[in-house]
Structure 1
Amino acid sequence: MATTVDRTGRSPLHPLHALLLAFPIALFACALLSDIAYLKSAEMQWSNFSAWLIVGALLFGAPVLLWSAASLFRRRRAPESRRAPAYFLLLLVMWVAGLVNAFKHSQDAWSSVGSLGLALSVVSALTALAAGWIAYGGERIAR
């Protein structure tokens, strides 16, 4: 499998950063799918599964967010990327929406995945996908 490389010969992301970012993308997207499955079937286990997926996404998303913040502040002295602030903001929105969603999913099953729970899952999944799009897009944003 080929890795995208920029003009200086470096890959766009540090390999550990790229690996950690893959988890929130996949887990938030799967949580959205399990929320939809719960709304279609009313099977309580889908809500439980979604709650665990959200917690996993938050656990892996926290170091990605911190890495992005450190990279953003380090770049203030030598700005190399215009995408870094957007990437950081997307990760921040993803993580905060995911945290609120985790609290929402801790309620009983039906109230956890009502309109607010589903909306938070959509926001978390879409911002994770958008952050992944920026991160894996080729321009180096976080070392």
Structure 2
Amino acid sequence: MTAGRPPSTSSIASALFNLLDPIPFGFFVGVLIFDFAYASTATILWIKSAAWLVSLGLVFAIVPQLINLYRVWFARRRVRARGEVVNFWLNVAGIVAALLNAFVHSRDAYGAIPDALWLSVVTVAALGAGRILLAGQLPAYKELNNEQA
């Protein structure tokens, strides 16, 4: 039995990123659903719940995006897949749209729609496109890393 090498900082960061990255996306999809529900029913409960979800989504987006920032721009001895840079900027655009959405949700409930709904769509579309882009490049990325080993 041979002892494997201890996990490096980058593998721990990758595992932490893969664990935490889906959480804000789920919150932002919930915001989109709640904004749509408010636009359909005009029940204030939906827009207030969406305000809480967008705030929680932004809080949970901090750590994965800091890890992503390090992985994409500052990590050494690592091959960067083409889609990682685009995914990084899509995540930044989605988080900026979510931040603007949080400001819109801080207004009166009747003044939040349609701006909140459109910002929710932009947030989910940007984050979703980044995730789809990375999912499409995953096999090529694994082959690239296996060639280096």
TM norm structure 1: 0.80
In the other structure, the counterpart of 1:100 is 100
- The worse-fitting range, judged by mean Cα deviation, of 66-75 and 117-126 is 66-75
Q: Does 1:72 align with 2:72?
A: yes
Distance 1:16 1:129 in 2: 19
1:14 to partner: Cα distance: 2.2
Q: How many residues align?
A: 128
3-state SS of 1:84 partner: helix
Q: Which has the higher helix share?
A: 2
| CA displacement 1:37-71 (0-9 Å, x = unmatched) | 00111000100110111111111111122111111
SS at match of 2:82: coil
Q: Are the aligned partners of 1:25 and 1:132 in contact in 2 as well (CA < 8 Å)?
A: no
Which residue matches 2:46? Answer: 46
Q: 1:7-52: per-residue Cα shift (whole Å, max 9, x none)? A: xxxx9x8222112111111111110010000011100010011011
Contact 2:16–2:64 (CA under 8 A) maintained in structure 1: no
Among all aligned residue pairs of Structure 1 and Structure 2, give the percentage whose two residues are the same amino acid.
Answer: 31
- Is the CA contact (8 Å cut-off) linking 1:30 and 1:53 kept in structure 2? yes
C-alpha change, 1:135 and 1:19, in structure 2 (3 Å) is farther
Q: Displacement of 1:101 after TM fit?
A: 0.3
Give 1:118's aligned residue: 117
Structure 1 CA distance, aligned partners of 2:18 and 2:55?
A: 19
Give the equivalent residue in structure 1 for 2:15: 15
What does residue range 52-67 of structure 1 map to in structure 2 within 5 Å? 52-67=52-67
Q: TM-score, normalised by structure 2?
A: 0.77
Instruction: Specify which structure has the bigger relative contact order, considering alpha-carbon pairs within 8 angstroms and separated by 6 or more residues.
Output: 1
Identify unmatched segments of 5+ residues in structure 1.
1-10
Do 1:24 and 1:128's aligned partners in 2 also have CA atoms closer than 8 Å?
no
* Counterpart position of 1:24: 24
